[in-house]
Protein backbone atom coordinates (compact mmCIF):
# COMPACT_ATOMS: atom_id res chain seq x y z
CA UNK A 1 0.00 0.00 0.00
CA UNK A 2 2.74 2.42 1.04
CA UNK A 3 4.75 1.42 -1.98
CA UNK A 4 2.04 2.40 -4.42
CA UNK A 5 1.63 5.73 -2.65
CA UNK A 6 5.32 6.45 -3.02
CA UNK A 7 5.08 5.43 -6.64
CA UNK A 8 2.22 7.80 -7.41
CA UNK A 9 4.13 10.53 -5.60
CA UNK A 10 7.12 9.90 -7.81
CA UNK A 11 4.98 9.89 -10.92
CA UNK A 12 3.28 13.15 -9.94
CA UNK A 13 6.65 14.72 -9.24
CA UNK A 14 7.95 13.76 -12.67
CA UNK A 15 4.82 15.06 -14.38
CA UNK A 16 5.09 18.34 -12.49
CA UNK A 17 8.77 18.94 -13.13
CA UNK A 18 9.02 17.58 -16.65
CA UNK A 19 7.86 20.66 -18.60
CA UNK A 20 10.27 22.96 -16.79
CA UNK A 21 13.15 20.50 -16.99
CA UNK A 22 12.61 19.87 -20.69
CA UNK A 23 12.49 23.56 -21.52
CA UNK A 24 15.57 24.41 -19.50
CA UNK A 25 17.39 21.44 -20.95
CA UNK A 26 16.62 22.35 -24.55
CA UNK A 27 17.35 26.07 -24.23
CA UNK A 28 20.24 26.11 -21.77
CA UNK A 29 21.98 22.76 -21.45
CA UNK A 30 21.69 21.62 -25.03
CA UNK A 31 23.14 24.86 -26.45
CA UNK A 32 26.14 24.50 -24.17
CA UNK A 33 26.94 21.15 -25.75
CA UNK A 34 26.09 22.54 -29.17
CA UNK A 35 28.61 25.29 -28.47
CA UNK A 36 31.39 22.76 -27.91
CA UNK A 37 30.41 21.03 -31.14
CA UNK A 38 30.36 24.26 -33.18
CA UNK A 39 33.63 25.50 -31.74
CA UNK A 40 35.44 22.61 -33.45
CA UNK A 41 33.97 23.45 -36.84
CA UNK A 42 34.66 25.91 -39.57
CA UNK A 43 31.27 27.55 -39.84
CA UNK A 44 30.41 31.00 -41.07
CA UNK A 45 27.24 32.95 -40.63
CA UNK A 46 26.13 32.34 -44.21
CA UNK A 47 26.56 28.56 -43.82
CA UNK A 48 23.92 28.17 -41.16
CA UNK A 49 20.93 29.00 -43.32
CA UNK A 50 19.46 25.75 -44.58
CA UNK A 51 19.24 25.82 -48.40
CA UNK A 52 15.63 25.76 -49.57
CA UNK A 53 14.11 25.13 -52.99
CA UNK A 54 11.87 28.08 -53.76
CA UNK A 55 9.27 28.79 -56.44
CA UNK A 56 7.57 32.05 -57.36
CA UNK A 57 4.25 31.47 -59.13
CA UNK A 58 3.29 33.90 -61.88
CA UNK A 59 -0.10 33.53 -63.59
CA UNK A 60 -0.41 34.96 -67.12
CA UNK A 61 -3.53 34.98 -69.23
CA UNK A 62 -3.17 34.29 -72.92
CA UNK A 63 -4.75 36.91 -75.15
CA UNK A 64 -7.73 35.83 -77.29
CA UNK A 65 -8.02 32.54 -75.43
CA UNK A 66 -9.89 33.07 -72.13
CA UNK A 67 -10.10 29.34 -71.45
CA UNK A 68 -6.33 28.96 -71.49
CA UNK A 69 -3.79 30.05 -68.93
CA UNK A 70 -0.02 30.13 -68.71
CA UNK A 71 1.63 29.55 -65.35
CA UNK A 72 5.27 30.39 -64.86
CA UNK A 73 7.22 29.10 -61.87
CA UNK A 74 10.50 30.86 -61.16
CA UNK A 75 12.46 28.10 -59.47
CA UNK A 76 15.66 28.67 -57.56
CA UNK A 77 17.99 27.34 -54.92
CA UNK A 78 18.04 29.82 -52.03
CA UNK A 79 21.61 28.96 -51.15
CA UNK A 80 24.63 30.39 -52.90
CA UNK A 81 26.97 27.70 -51.68
CA UNK A 82 25.17 24.41 -51.23
CA UNK A 83 23.35 22.03 -53.54
CA UNK A 84 19.89 20.58 -52.88
CA UNK A 85 19.23 16.95 -53.79
CA UNK A 86 16.03 15.23 -54.93
CA UNK A 87 13.90 18.34 -55.27
CA UNK A 88 10.23 17.46 -55.47
CA UNK A 89 7.45 19.81 -56.51
CA UNK A 90 3.70 19.74 -56.04
CA UNK A 91 0.86 22.09 -56.95
CA UNK A 92 -2.95 21.76 -57.00
CA UNK A 93 -5.40 23.05 -59.60
CA UNK A 94 -9.19 23.46 -59.89
CA UNK A 95 -11.22 20.45 -60.95
CA UNK A 96 -11.75 21.52 -64.58
CA UNK A 97 -8.11 22.00 -65.52
CA UNK A 98 -6.36 19.97 -68.14
CA UNK A 99 -2.67 20.24 -68.88
CA UNK A 100 -1.49 20.98 -72.37
CA UNK A 101 2.21 20.17 -72.48
CA UNK A 102 3.53 17.89 -69.76
CA UNK A 103 7.21 18.17 -68.90
CA UNK A 104 8.91 14.75 -68.89
CA UNK A 105 9.90 15.26 -65.22
CA UNK A 106 6.31 15.69 -64.17
CA UNK A 107 3.05 13.85 -63.84
CA UNK A 108 -0.47 15.24 -63.69
CA UNK A 109 -3.01 13.18 -61.83
CA UNK A 110 -6.23 14.18 -60.10
CA UNK A 111 -5.60 17.87 -60.81
CA UNK A 112 -2.33 17.60 -58.95
CA UNK A 113 0.92 18.47 -60.72
CA UNK A 114 3.88 16.53 -59.35
CA UNK A 115 7.46 16.94 -60.53
CA UNK A 116 10.83 15.46 -59.62
CA UNK A 117 13.51 17.98 -60.48
CA UNK A 118 16.51 15.98 -59.32
CA UNK A 119 19.53 17.84 -57.92
CA UNK A 120 19.91 21.59 -57.90
CA UNK A 121 23.44 22.96 -57.60
CA UNK A 122 24.10 26.16 -55.65
CA UNK A 123 22.66 29.33 -57.22
CA UNK A 124 20.47 27.15 -59.52
CA UNK A 125 17.69 28.98 -61.37
CA UNK A 126 15.06 27.79 -63.82
CA UNK A 127 11.91 29.19 -65.38
CA UNK A 128 9.41 26.37 -65.46
CA UNK A 129 6.25 26.92 -67.49
CA UNK A 130 2.99 25.02 -67.90
CA UNK A 131 -0.12 25.80 -69.92
CA UNK A 132 -3.59 24.73 -68.82
CA UNK A 133 -6.96 24.66 -70.51
CA UNK A 134 -10.36 24.26 -68.91
CA UNK A 135 -12.23 21.21 -70.14
CA UNK A 136 -15.69 22.80 -69.85
CA UNK A 137 -14.85 26.03 -71.60
CA UNK A 138 -15.41 28.25 -68.53
CA UNK A 139 -13.37 31.36 -67.84
CA UNK A 140 -10.41 31.19 -65.49
CA UNK A 141 -10.25 32.99 -62.17
CA UNK A 142 -6.68 34.26 -61.91
CA UNK A 143 -6.92 35.37 -58.31
CA UNK A 144 -7.98 31.97 -57.13
CA UNK A 145 -5.02 30.37 -58.89
CA UNK A 146 -2.55 32.71 -57.24
CA UNK A 147 -3.69 31.87 -53.73
CA UNK A 148 -2.70 28.20 -54.12
CA UNK A 149 0.97 27.95 -53.23
CA UNK A 150 3.22 25.18 -54.63
CA UNK A 151 4.99 22.87 -52.21
CA UNK A 152 8.68 22.12 -52.67
CA UNK A 153 10.89 19.72 -50.85
CA UNK A 154 14.52 18.68 -51.05
CA UNK A 155 17.42 17.26 -49.16
CA UNK A 156 20.59 19.14 -48.34
CA UNK A 157 23.63 18.70 -46.17
CA UNK A 158 23.48 20.61 -42.93
CA UNK A 159 27.00 21.88 -42.44
CA UNK A 160 26.46 21.77 -38.69
CA UNK A 161 25.67 18.08 -38.68
CA UNK A 162 28.61 16.64 -40.58
CA UNK A 163 31.55 15.21 -38.69
CA UNK A 164 34.37 17.34 -40.01
CA UNK A 165 36.21 18.85 -37.05
CA UNK A 166 39.14 21.20 -36.79
CA UNK A 167 41.28 22.78 -34.07
CA UNK A 168 41.80 25.88 -36.15
CA UNK A 169 39.39 28.04 -34.15
CA UNK A 170 41.10 27.39 -30.84
CA UNK A 171 44.54 27.91 -32.35
CA UNK A 172 43.36 31.24 -33.69
CA UNK A 173 41.75 32.29 -30.41
CA UNK A 174 44.69 31.35 -28.22
CA UNK A 175 47.63 32.32 -30.40
CA UNK A 176 46.39 35.20 -32.50
CA UNK A 177 44.10 38.17 -31.94
CA UNK A 178 46.08 39.58 -29.01
CA UNK A 179 44.65 37.00 -26.66
CA UNK A 180 46.74 38.18 -23.70
CA UNK A 181 45.53 41.74 -24.13
CA UNK A 182 41.95 40.52 -24.34
CA UNK A 183 42.38 38.48 -21.21
CA UNK A 184 43.94 41.37 -19.29
CA UNK A 185 41.20 43.79 -20.34
CA UNK A 186 38.53 41.31 -19.26
CA UNK A 187 40.33 40.75 -15.98
CA UNK A 188 40.69 44.47 -15.19
CA UNK A 189 37.08 45.07 -16.09
CA UNK A 190 35.84 42.18 -13.99
CA UNK A 191 38.09 42.63 -11.00
CA UNK A 192 37.82 46.38 -10.54
CA UNK A 193 34.12 46.35 -11.39
CA UNK A 194 33.53 43.71 -8.73
CA UNK A 195 35.69 45.28 -6.02
CA UNK A 196 34.34 48.75 -6.73
CA UNK A 197 30.72 47.69 -6.54
CA UNK A 198 31.35 45.85 -3.26
CA UNK A 199 33.15 48.81 -1.71
CA UNK A 200 30.35 51.17 -2.68
CA UNK A 201 27.85 48.59 -1.50
CA UNK A 202 29.46 48.51 1.95
CA UNK A 203 29.54 52.31 2.17
CA UNK A 204 25.93 52.77 1.15
CA UNK A 205 24.66 49.92 3.30
CA UNK A 206 26.46 51.37 6.31
CA UNK A 207 24.92 54.73 5.45
CA UNK A 208 21.33 53.52 5.06
CA UNK A 209 21.68 51.43 8.22
CA UNK A 210 21.84 54.74 10.11
CA UNK A 211 18.58 56.43 11.07
CA UNK A 212 17.77 59.54 9.10
CA UNK A 213 14.82 61.28 7.54
CA UNK A 214 13.93 59.87 4.10
CA UNK A 215 15.69 56.58 4.64
CA UNK A 216 13.21 54.36 2.79
CA UNK A 217 13.18 56.78 -0.11
CA UNK A 218 16.97 56.66 -0.17
CA UNK A 219 16.83 52.88 -0.29
CA UNK A 220 14.66 52.89 -3.42
CA UNK A 221 16.77 55.56 -5.07
CA UNK A 222 19.91 53.52 -4.51
CA UNK A 223 18.34 50.63 -6.41
CA UNK A 224 17.35 52.70 -9.46
CA UNK A 225 20.47 52.01 -11.55
CA UNK A 226 20.04 48.29 -10.99
CA UNK A 227 16.39 48.06 -12.02
CA UNK A 228 16.33 50.49 -14.95
CA UNK A 229 16.90 49.12 -18.47
CA UNK A 230 20.55 49.04 -19.48
CA UNK A 231 19.87 50.53 -22.91
CA UNK A 232 18.41 53.73 -21.49
CA UNK A 233 21.18 54.11 -18.91
CA UNK A 234 24.01 53.46 -21.33
CA UNK A 235 22.79 56.06 -23.80
CA UNK A 236 22.23 58.58 -21.05
CA UNK A 237 25.80 58.09 -19.88
CA UNK A 238 27.02 58.39 -23.43
CA UNK A 239 25.31 61.77 -23.75
CA UNK A 240 26.59 62.82 -20.36
CA UNK A 241 30.19 62.02 -21.29
CA UNK A 242 30.08 63.13 -24.91
CA UNK A 243 33.20 65.19 -25.73
CA UNK A 244 31.48 67.69 -28.01
CA UNK A 245 28.39 68.81 -26.15
CA UNK A 246 28.14 66.40 -23.24
CA UNK A 247 27.07 67.81 -19.92
CA UNK A 248 30.12 66.67 -17.96
CA UNK A 249 32.66 68.16 -20.35
CA UNK A 250 30.65 71.36 -20.66
CA UNK A 251 30.53 71.68 -16.88
CA UNK A 252 34.25 71.06 -16.49
CA UNK A 253 35.02 73.58 -19.23
CA UNK A 254 32.64 76.09 -17.67
CA UNK A 255 34.42 75.91 -14.32
CA UNK A 256 37.81 75.99 -16.05
CA UNK A 257 38.83 72.69 -14.54
CA UNK A 258 39.93 71.41 -17.95
CA UNK A 259 40.94 73.31 -21.05
CA UNK A 260 40.05 70.85 -23.78
CA UNK A 261 37.22 68.31 -23.65
CA UNK A 262 38.13 64.77 -22.63
CA UNK A 263 36.73 61.94 -24.70
CA UNK A 264 36.08 59.63 -21.79
CA UNK A 265 34.66 56.81 -23.86
CA UNK A 266 36.75 57.16 -26.98
CA UNK A 267 40.29 57.62 -25.75
CA UNK A 268 42.35 54.55 -24.98
CA UNK A 269 45.04 56.05 -22.75
CA UNK A 270 45.41 59.21 -20.74
CA UNK A 271 48.72 60.30 -19.25
CA UNK A 272 48.63 61.20 -15.63
CA UNK A 273 51.45 62.33 -13.43
CA UNK A 274 51.13 61.88 -9.72
CA UNK A 275 54.07 62.86 -7.46
CA UNK A 276 56.36 63.06 -10.44
CA UNK A 277 55.52 59.58 -11.70
CA UNK A 278 54.06 59.52 -15.19
CA UNK A 279 51.81 56.65 -16.03
CA UNK A 280 49.20 55.79 -18.56
CA UNK A 281 45.65 55.11 -17.45
CA UNK A 282 43.29 53.08 -19.61
CA UNK A 283 40.74 55.89 -19.86
CA UNK A 284 37.86 54.30 -21.78
CA UNK A 285 38.20 51.09 -19.79
CA UNK A 286 38.11 53.05 -16.54
CA UNK A 287 34.97 54.87 -17.63
CA UNK A 288 33.30 51.60 -18.55
CA UNK A 289 34.29 50.16 -15.16
CA UNK A 290 32.77 53.23 -13.50
CA UNK A 291 29.50 52.58 -15.29
CA UNK A 292 29.69 48.96 -14.21
CA UNK A 293 30.20 49.96 -10.58
CA UNK A 294 27.45 52.56 -10.76
CA UNK A 295 25.00 50.03 -12.15
CA UNK A 296 25.77 47.07 -9.93
CA UNK A 297 26.72 48.42 -6.50
CA UNK A 298 22.98 48.44 -5.57
CA UNK A 299 23.05 44.66 -5.56
CA UNK A 300 25.94 44.59 -3.09
CA UNK A 301 24.15 47.29 -1.11
CA UNK A 302 20.99 45.19 -0.86
CA UNK A 303 22.83 42.06 0.26
CA UNK A 304 25.02 43.83 2.79
CA UNK A 305 22.16 45.91 4.18
CA UNK A 306 20.13 42.76 4.80
CA UNK A 307 23.10 41.29 6.65
CA UNK A 308 23.76 44.47 8.64
CA UNK A 309 20.18 44.58 9.85
CA UNK A 310 20.57 41.03 11.14
CA UNK A 311 23.58 41.83 13.35
CA UNK A 312 22.43 41.68 16.99
CA UNK A 313 22.28 45.13 18.61
CA UNK A 314 23.82 43.75 21.82
CA UNK A 315 27.20 43.54 20.09
CA UNK A 316 27.24 47.29 19.53
CA UNK A 317 25.86 48.03 23.00
CA UNK A 318 28.64 45.95 24.57
CA UNK A 319 31.20 47.80 22.47
CA UNK A 320 29.78 51.13 23.61
CA UNK A 321 30.21 50.03 27.23
CA UNK A 322 33.83 49.19 26.46
CA UNK A 323 34.26 52.67 24.98
CA UNK A 324 34.95 51.60 21.41
CA UNK A 325 35.20 54.28 18.74
CA UNK A 326 32.98 54.22 15.63
CA UNK A 327 35.88 53.01 13.50
CA UNK A 328 36.75 50.28 15.97
CA UNK A 329 33.12 49.19 15.93
CA UNK A 330 33.11 49.12 12.15
CA UNK A 331 36.34 47.14 11.80
CA UNK A 332 35.86 44.78 14.74
CA UNK A 333 32.12 44.10 14.67
CA UNK A 334 30.57 45.06 11.36
CA UNK A 335 33.26 43.90 8.97
CA UNK A 336 33.70 40.38 10.41
CA UNK A 337 29.91 39.95 10.33
CA UNK A 338 29.66 40.75 6.64
CA UNK A 339 32.70 38.87 5.31
CA UNK A 340 30.62 35.82 4.42
CA UNK A 341 28.20 37.92 2.38
CA UNK A 342 31.08 39.73 0.73
CA UNK A 343 32.76 36.51 -0.33
CA UNK A 344 29.52 35.25 -1.92
CA UNK A 345 28.97 38.61 -3.56
CA UNK A 346 32.51 38.61 -4.88
CA UNK A 347 31.98 35.28 -6.57
CA UNK A 348 28.57 36.15 -8.02
CA UNK A 349 29.65 39.55 -9.29
CA UNK A 350 32.94 38.21 -10.61
CA UNK A 351 31.18 35.57 -12.67
CA UNK A 352 28.58 37.98 -14.00
CA UNK A 353 31.01 40.79 -14.74
CA UNK A 354 33.22 38.32 -16.55
CA UNK A 355 30.31 37.60 -18.87
CA UNK A 356 28.91 41.09 -19.08
CA UNK A 357 28.23 42.01 -22.66
CA UNK A 358 25.52 44.67 -22.94
CA UNK A 359 27.16 47.43 -20.90
CA UNK A 360 30.42 47.58 -22.81
CA UNK A 361 28.72 46.92 -26.11
CA UNK A 362 26.32 49.83 -25.69
CA UNK A 363 28.89 52.27 -24.32
CA UNK A 364 31.87 51.73 -26.60
CA UNK A 365 31.10 48.74 -28.79
CA UNK A 366 34.44 47.32 -27.68
CA UNK A 367 36.47 50.17 -29.18
CA UNK A 368 39.36 52.09 -27.60
CA UNK A 369 40.72 49.29 -25.48
CA UNK A 370 37.49 48.00 -23.97
CA UNK A 371 37.26 44.74 -25.90
CA UNK A 372 36.46 42.05 -23.35
CA UNK A 373 35.97 38.35 -24.06
CA UNK A 374 32.16 38.52 -24.35
CA UNK A 375 32.48 41.42 -26.78
CA UNK A 376 34.90 39.27 -28.73
CA UNK A 377 32.31 36.48 -28.96
CA UNK A 378 29.96 38.92 -30.63
CA UNK A 379 32.57 40.45 -32.89
CA UNK A 380 33.91 37.12 -34.07
CA UNK A 381 30.50 35.55 -34.48
CA UNK A 382 28.50 38.39 -35.97
CA UNK A 383 30.77 41.25 -37.09
CA UNK A 384 33.33 38.96 -38.77
CA UNK A 385 30.57 36.33 -39.23
CA UNK A 386 32.78 33.46 -38.12
CA UNK A 387 30.39 31.43 -35.99
CA UNK A 388 33.03 28.77 -35.24
CA UNK A 389 35.43 31.37 -33.83
CA UNK A 390 32.73 32.99 -31.72
CA UNK A 391 31.88 29.61 -30.28
CA UNK A 392 35.51 28.90 -29.51
CA UNK A 393 35.82 32.19 -27.62
CA UNK A 394 32.74 31.40 -25.57
CA UNK A 395 34.16 27.97 -24.74
CA UNK A 396 37.31 29.72 -23.53
CA UNK A 397 35.09 31.89 -21.31
CA UNK A 398 33.41 28.83 -19.80
CA UNK A 399 36.75 27.10 -19.15
CA UNK A 400 38.19 30.21 -17.49
CA UNK A 401 35.08 30.56 -15.34
CA UNK A 402 35.21 26.94 -14.26
CA UNK A 403 38.88 27.41 -13.34
CA UNK A 404 38.01 30.51 -11.34
CA UNK A 405 35.23 28.73 -9.49
CA UNK A 406 37.48 25.77 -8.76
CA UNK A 407 40.23 27.91 -7.22
CA UNK A 408 37.78 30.15 -5.45
CA UNK A 409 36.06 27.26 -3.70
CA UNK A 410 39.40 25.68 -2.88
CA UNK A 411 40.57 28.91 -1.29
CA UNK A 412 37.29 29.38 0.50
CA UNK A 413 37.32 25.78 1.70
CA UNK A 414 40.79 26.27 3.17
CA UNK A 415 39.72 29.37 5.04
CA UNK A 416 36.72 27.60 6.44
CA UNK A 417 38.99 24.77 7.61
CA UNK A 418 41.31 27.20 9.35
CA UNK A 419 38.45 28.69 11.31
Residues between 316 and 375 that touch another protein (CB under 8 A): 323, 325-327, 348-349, 351-358, 361-362, 374
**210 vs 419, beta carbon nearer another protein:** 210
Beta strands 84-92 and 151-155, pairing class: antiparallel
Q: How far is the CB of 172 from another protein (least distance, A)?
A: 15
Q: How many CA atoms lie within 13 A of 30 on its CB side?
A: 7
Angle CA 391–388–400, to nearest 5:
30
Cα distances (angstroms) measured from residue 299 to each of 120, 162, 223, 410: 57, 45, 8, 25
Residues 130-169 that bind another protein (CB under 8 A): 158, 160
* Residues between 214 and 233 with contacts to another protein, criterion CB under 8 A: 218, 220-233
Start-end of H helices in 209-321: 215-227, 230-241, 247-254, 283-310, 313-321
Nearer to another protein, 130 or 389 (CB): 389
Stretch that binds another protein, among 116-124, 143-151, 162-170, 241-249 (CB under 8 A): 241-249
Among 93-101, 102-110, 145-153, 299-307, the segment contacting another protein (CB under 8 A): 299-307
Instruction: Please state, in angstroms and rounded to a whole number, the distance separating the CA atoms of residues 332 and 139.
Output: 97
Site string for another protein, 7-46 (x = CB under 8 A): --xx-xxxxxx-xxx-xx-xxxxxxx-xx--x----x---
259/257 Cα distance (integer angstroms): 7
Q: Which is nearer to another protein, 65 or 320 (CB)?
A: 320
- Tell me whether residue 61 or residue 309 sits nearer to another protein (CB atom): 309
- Considering only residues 387 to 416 of the shown chain, the ones binding another protein according to CB under 8 A are 387, 390-391, 394-395, 397-398, 401
Task: Indicate left, alpha or beta for 99 from its phi (over 0: left) and psi (-120 to 50: alpha).
Answer: beta
**Which H, E and C letters describe 186-226, residue by residue?**
HHHHHHHHHHHHHHHHHHHHHHHCCCCCCHHHHHHHHHHHH
Count of residues that bind another protein according to CB under 8 A: 98
The residue range among 115-123, 145-153, 169-177, 205-213 that interacts with another protein, by the rule CB under 8 A, is 205-213
Nearer to another protein, 54 or 146 (CB): 54
Amino acid sequence: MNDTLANTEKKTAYILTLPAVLLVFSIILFPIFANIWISFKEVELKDIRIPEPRAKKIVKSISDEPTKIKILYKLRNSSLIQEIRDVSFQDNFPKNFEIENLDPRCSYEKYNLKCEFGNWPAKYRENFQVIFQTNDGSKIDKKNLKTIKPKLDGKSDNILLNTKFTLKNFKKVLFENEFIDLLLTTFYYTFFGTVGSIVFGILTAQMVNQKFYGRTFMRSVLLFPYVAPVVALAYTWELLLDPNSGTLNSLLLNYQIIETPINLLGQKYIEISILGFDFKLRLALTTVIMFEIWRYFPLAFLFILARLQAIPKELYEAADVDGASPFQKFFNITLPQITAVISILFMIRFIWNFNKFEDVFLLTGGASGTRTLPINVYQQGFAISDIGMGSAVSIVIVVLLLMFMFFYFKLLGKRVDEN
